[in-house]
Amino acid sequence: MASFPTIGILGGGQLGKMMAADAVRMSVNVRLLSPKDAGPMQAYADARVGDWTDPDVLRDFGADCDVITVESEWAPAAEAADALSDDIDVWPAPDTLELIKDKGVQKRHLADAGCPVPTFECCETVDEAVSVADDFGYPVVLKQYRGAYDGYGNATVHSADELRTAWPDLAADDGLMVEVFAEFTRELAVQVARRPGGEQVVYPVAYTVQENHRCHAVEVPADVSDAVEEKARSIAQRSVDAVNGVGLIAVELFEMPDGRVLVNELAPRPHNTGHYSIEGCHTSQFENHVRAILDWPLGSTALRSPAAVMVNVLGDREGTPTQSDTLPDALAVEGATPHIYGKPDVRPGRKMGHVTALGTDVESARARAERAADAIHL
Ligand SMILES: Nc1ncnc2c1ncn2[C@@H]1O[C@H](COP(=O)(O)OP(=O)(O)OP(=O)(O)O)[C@@H](O)[C@H]1O
Ligand SMILES: [Mg+2]
């Protein structure tokens, strides 16, 4: 191994960019590969565009890397592991990604491991789904097994008629998952970093504020009871053990009115709900991801200030982003730290950046983060 290791990141979006930023700070060498010019990765010298399903491309990319990692569950980790020699680790392991990227397989695995999840059934046909939904009671949530993000691929239906109408547009050959609609009080998220030997650190519980089925803001600490905080963190840790996750794994949770905490889903990578940790915690989710995949000691997840709030900056038009003209307005908000991802195209609702503010309380941090995020138009 060279004096400083090289990590190869499959993916060139904002998560890869932020992973790379923390790696570079520690002089860990970074290389990125994306099938398309992803924009955000262009901040780095060794950012390659290539067909990442091609074994030759992967071999060339990974040959002198020490570790390969991914910024997305869809990146070809298994193909990389096949193409590369055994002494190059791929983390999270392809088996872990296999378990996570199909929502049905993931939920079944978590349930079997004793992690609490909403009641669900995998249904191959619409008739089966209607019969399951009749048993569950409406509403139910229909979920595609693979490829869904930001709520695309889900539908909440309130009757058998609605289910039958929604089915053809969503269902794949193996059907859909039918899940009981969870009447949660809040959506929470917990990040866990885990080393290959199983050692873990767990982040504080974050409250994820949703608007229009998208994460708008993340408030930390979440305004939950000590019992819920404890439960959420331990369920997150158990879930990450259950999939043998290595690196940073994010756990999306529902807090139920009766005090139960259910797992919605895992993401085998740093996550939007953990971006607050860059400024908010002693060690960011990205740095702990890098530490974990290199099997280095994990850093403290403690908050640096009593409260941290992140607000997403979403696209509000279609076109090419103009990076600079509104950023100074956001920078003028004291104590707010804007992040601009550098995506090549803007679309309404697309995550283009985020702002984090720290504070003595969640309310004041939220107000500053909102003000700065509102100022940015890309
Ligand atoms: N069983 C459920 N009951 C109630 N609401 C649900 C349920 N499942 C999902 N949701 C809502 O839909 C949102 C998106 O669901 P899910 O996380 O499964 O989709 P996704 O496409 O993977 O989204 P993302 O990329 O935003 O994580 C959740 O954050 C939650 O607000
Ligand atoms: Mg989700």
The domain spanning residue 13 has which CATH number? 3.40.50.20
Same domain assignment for residues 48 and 73: yes
194 and 151 share one domain: no
Specify the pTM.
Answer: 0.96
Q: Pick from 154, 190, 214, 271 the residue to mutate for probing ligand 1's pocket: most ligand atoms within 8 Å of its CB.
A: 154
Q: How confident is the model at residue 247 (pLDDT cuts 50, 70, 90)?
A: very high
Mutate to test the pocket of ligand 1, among 106, 264, 266 (most ligand atoms within 8 A of CB): 264
pLDDT digits (tens, 9 = 90+) for 74-106: 999 999 999 999 999 999 999 999 999 999 999
Same domain, 176 and 194: no
Whether residue 106 lies inside any domain: the answer is no
Does residue 103 belong to any structural domain of this protein? Answer: no
H or E stretch at 238: helix 226-242
- State if residue 264 touches ligand 1 by the CB under 6 angstroms criterion: yes
Interacting residues of 188 by C-beta distance below 8 A, sequence separation 6+:
205, 206, 207, 208, 222, 224, 228, 232, 252, 253, 254, 255, 261
Residues 299 and 213 in one domain: yes
The whole-number average pLDDT for the span 212-230 is 95
Same domain, 83 and 13: yes
Task: Give the other-Cβ count within 10 Å of 230's Cβ.
Answer: 13
Q: What is the DSSP letter of 332?
A: T
Q: Does position 375 have pLDDT exceeding 80, yes or no?
A: yes
Domain edge (last residue) among 164, 180, 196: 180
Q: Count the domains in the chain.
A: 3
Residues 232 and 149 grouped into a single domain: no
Same structural domain, 124 and 74: no
Whether residue 244 is found in the same domain as residue 363: yes
Per-residue pLDDT band for 135 (boundaries 50, 70, 90) equals very high
Same domain, 201 and 294: yes
Ligand 1 touching residue 29 (CB < 6 A): no
Which runs of consecutive H residues, i.e. helices, occur in 243-276? Answer: none
Classify residue 95: in a domain, yes or no: no
CATH number of the domain residue 157 falls in: 3.30.1490.20
Atom 1, ligand 1: residue with shortest CA distance: 181
177 CA distance to ligand 1 centroid (A)? 12
Let me know if residue 295 belongs to a domain. Answer: yes
Q: Which of 357, 358, 327, 359 is nearest to 341 (CA)?
A: 327
- Between the CA of 262 and the centroid of ligand 1 the distance, in Å, is 12
Domain extent, residue 79, equals: 6-90
Alpha-carbon span 64 to 124, nearest angstrom: 44
Residues 6+ apart with CB under 8 A from 129: 123, 142, 163, 167, 175, 176, 178
Asked, for residue 27, whether it belongs to a domain, the answer is: yes
Instruction: Please tell me whether residues 236 and 341 are part of one structural domain.
Output: yes
Ligand nearest to the CA of 73: 1
Residue 59: its pLDDT value, please?
97
CATH number at residue 257: 3.30.470.20
The last residue of a domain, from among 134, 150, 180: 180
Residue 96 placed within a domain: no
Q: Which of 129, 162, 180 is the last residue of a domain?
A: 180
Q: Is the CB of 181 under 6 A from ligand 1?
A: yes
Residue nearest to atom 12 of ligand 1 (CA): 151
Structure tokens at 218: 């993340």
For residue range 21-47, what is the model confidence (pLDDT) as tens digits? Answer: 999 999 999 999 999 988 999 989 899
Query: Would you say residue 108 lies in a domain?
Result: no
Q: What is the pLDDT of residue 2?
A: 52
The DSSP symbol for 258 reads T
Do 153 and 296 fall into the same domain?
A: no
Q: Report in angstroms the alpha-carbon separations of 318 from 90, 150, 312.
A: 37, 18, 17
Residues 314 and 198 in one domain: yes
**Is the residue at 166 inside a domain?**
yes
Residue nearest to atom 15 of ligand 1 (CA): 151
Asked if residue 370 has pLDDT above 70, the reply is: yes
In angstroms, rounded to a whole number, what is the distance separating the alpha carbons of residues 288 and 124?
39
